[in-house]
């Protein structure tokens, strides 16, 4: 049967964000069994992959229990894309074939998502944050520099980025403590030590490295997809007042590294294959090592909620620089990427004011407060606010969801 028309016998899964076409990878535990282990997901069920392996439903020579009874996905990813593809294909066969729907030993590998805790699935090595949305870079340039020259001269020639910090990347659901630091309350005055008064989020999509390159060997753009094992939704929490004072001349530091949140599921490129789309026109034409393919972007809808009020609808298709261009540029100098490294896109803003991916832009530097459903307003985030981001791709046959990327400010 045609892949996009495939259905699963797992009840409720076909219309959910986790149909048979998705099958993301994650790490879970339950109350009864606190050991972290590798899983996939279908509908409202976690698929316990180590149990599935123990029950001999998986038949892949290179996959052993140690890859699945593991608190991170890195060892499984290290086996290579052929192995993850084979794993995915065997899951598709197991859960689409009606004949399997009565197998007790298979059904016991499905655990209700409500009984599971999901954990940070990747042991993240290095983390890089790009700045790849033209709309976001333009908005920030207008607010902080010069409306006539909003983009810096390098911006249309290369995907700008900085090296962030992996230690403070946490999984969805982790509470976020408001950071303190140096802030300047009135321009021209001396800084004070204070809690941040301008706490913000940044709506981003991140990709994970699944194949290494040797130091000194750039990853050519046409091979870049081989090195990427999947996507995760990402919130790059930002303290704008700390950032504004500290960033000159070396860039973001303590305004960024106190916390970032990722969604719990690694969504494969195969699950998103049907959602490739054209990127924005690139003029001037980038140098040849960044040579863009036509279909280099993905059509993935993004939404942000503050305490259940939807405040933004954006899309990864707006990104000016594609993930392939980001990775080709990151390694053009010979920088070596390692399995589990994470690269985030930068805030993804669209052309409409309702598609801006940060409070800084949505409330335009505090000048246009956002009204929530309960009648209260926000220019930046308050203590107790819950920020939820979701992402999903959708066609006539199915939806691919990412799970939510959530955090409450304390």
Stretch that binds Mn ion, among 6-14, 114-122, 141-149, 198-206 (CB under 5 A): 198-206
What is d(CA 42, CA 23) in angstroms, rounded to the nearest whole number? 6
CA distance 50 to 32: 16
CB-nearer residue toward Mn ion: 84 or 238: 238
Instruction: Identify residues 203-242 at the interface with Mn ion (CB under 5 A).
Output: 236
Measured from the Cβ of residue 367, the count of other Cβ atoms closer than 10 Å reads 8
Minimum distance between the CB of residue 132 and Mn ion, rounded to whole angstroms?
10
What track of x and - describes contact with Mn ion for positions 140 through 179 (by CB under 5 A)?
----------------------------------------
Nearest to 199 by CA among 235, 163, 232: 235
Report if residue 75 touches Mn ion, rule: CB under 5 A. no
* Least distance (Å) between residue 165 CB and Mn ion: 12
CB of 72 closer than 8 Å to CB of 39: no
- Please pick, among 53, 67, 136, 227, the residue that the annotation labels catalytic: 136
**Residue 253: CB minimum distance to Mn ion, A:** 13
Which among 231, 213, 397 has a CA at the least distance from the CA of 319? 231
Which residue, 68 or 348, is less far from Mn ion as judged by CB?
348
CA 173 to chain centre: 15
Q: How far is the CB of 137 from Mn ion (least distance, A)?
A: 11
Binding piece for Mn ion, criterion CB under 5 A, among 1-9, 24-32, 197-205, 239-247? 197-205
Q: Do 403 and 323 contact (CB within 8 A), yes or no?
A: no
Indicate if the alpha-carbon torsion angle 155, 159, 165, 169 is positive or negative. positive
The Cα angle at residue 39 between residues 119 and 301, in degrees rounded to 5: 75
Nearer to Mn ion, 132 or 268 (CB): 132
Asked if residue 90 lies in contact with residue 233, where contact means CB atoms within 8 angstroms, the answer is: no
Residue 385 makes contact with Mn ion by CB under 5 A: no
Question: Using CA atoms, how far apart are residues 227 and 231, in angstroms rounded to an integer?
Answer: 12
Q: Which stretch binds Mn ion (CB under 5 A): 23-31, 53-61, 201-209, 257-265?
A: 201-209
- Nearest CB to Mn ion, comparing residues 257 and 301: 257
- How many residues of this chain interact with Mn ion, rule: CB under 5 A? 3
Please, which residue, 202 or 385, has the CB nearer to Mn ion?
Answer: 202
Positive/negative CA dihedral, 291, 270, 68, 391: positive
Structure tokens at 130: 């790009």
Q: Is 330 a residue of the active site?
A: no
Rounded to a whole number of angstroms, the minimum distance from the CB of residue 190 to Mn ion is 28
Nearer to Mn ion, 86 or 202 (CB): 202
Residue from 48, 75, 86, 129 in contact with Mn ion (CB under 5 A): 129
Least Å distance, CB 347 to Mn ion, is 6
CA 3 to chain centre: 25
Nearer to Mn ion, 21 or 349 (CB): 349
Q: Which residue is nearest to Mn ion (CB)?
A: 236
CB of 257 to Mn ion, least distance (A): 11
User: DSSP states of 126-153 as a string?
Assistant: -EEEE---HHHHHHHHHHHS-GGG-S-T
Does 202 sit near Mn ion (CB under 5 A)?
A: yes
**Residue 183: beta bridge partners?**
192
CA distances from 42 to 134, 244, 275 (A): 36, 43, 20
Q: Residue numbers of the site for Mn ion (CB under 5 A)? A: 129, 202, 236
Please give the positions annotated as active site. 136
């Amino acid at each position: 049967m045609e892949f996009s028309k495939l259905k699963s016998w797992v009840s409720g899964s076909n219309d959910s964000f986790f149909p048979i076409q998705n099958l993301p990878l994650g790490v879970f535990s339950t109350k009864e069994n606190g050991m972290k282990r590798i899983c996939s997901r279908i509908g409202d069920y976690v698929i316990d992959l180590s149990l599935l392996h123990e029950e001999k439903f998986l038949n892949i020579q290179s996959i052993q229990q140690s890859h699945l009874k593991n608190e991170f996905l890195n060892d499984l990813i290290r086996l290579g894309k052929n192995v993850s593809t084979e794993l995915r294909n065997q899951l598709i066969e197991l859960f689409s074939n009606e004949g399997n729907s009565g197998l007790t030993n298979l059904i016991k590998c499905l655990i209700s998502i409500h009984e599971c805790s999901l954990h940070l699935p990747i042991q993240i090595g290095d983390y890089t944050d790009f700045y790849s949305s033209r709309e976001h870079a333009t908005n920030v340039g207008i607010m902080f520099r010069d409306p006539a020259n909003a983009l810096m001269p390098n911006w249309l020639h290369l995907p700008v980025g900085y090296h962030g910090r992996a230690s403070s990347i946490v999984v969805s659901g982790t509470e976020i403590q408001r950071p303190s630091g140096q802030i300047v309350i009135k321009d021209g005055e001396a800084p004070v030590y204070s809690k941040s008064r301008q706490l913000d989020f940044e709506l981003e999509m991140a990709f994970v490295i699944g194949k290494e390159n040797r130091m000194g060997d750039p990853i050519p753009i046409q091979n870049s997809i081989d090195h990427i094992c999947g996507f995760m939704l990402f919130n790059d929490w930002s303290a704008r007042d700390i950032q504004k004072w500290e960033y000159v001349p070396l860039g973001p530091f303590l305004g960024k590294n106190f916390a970032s949140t990722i969604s719990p599921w690694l969504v494969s490129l195969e699950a998103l294959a049907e959602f490739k789309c054209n990127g924005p026109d690139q003029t001037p034409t980038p140098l040849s090592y960044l040579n863009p393919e036509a279909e280099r972007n993905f059509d993935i809808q993004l939404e942000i909620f503050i305490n259940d009020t939807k405040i933004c609808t954006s899309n990864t298709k707006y990104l000016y620089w594609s993930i392939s261009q980001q990775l080709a540029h990151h390694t053009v100098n010979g920088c070596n990427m390692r399995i589990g490294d994470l690269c985030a896109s930068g805030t993804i803003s669209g052309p409409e004011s309702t598609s801006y991916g940060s409070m800084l832009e949505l409330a335009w530097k505090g000048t246009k407060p956002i009204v929530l459903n309960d009648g209260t307003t926000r220019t930046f985030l308050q203590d107790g606010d819950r920020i939820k981001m979701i992402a999903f791709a959708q066609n006539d046959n199915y939806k691919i969801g990412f799970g939510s990327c959530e955090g409450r400010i304390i």
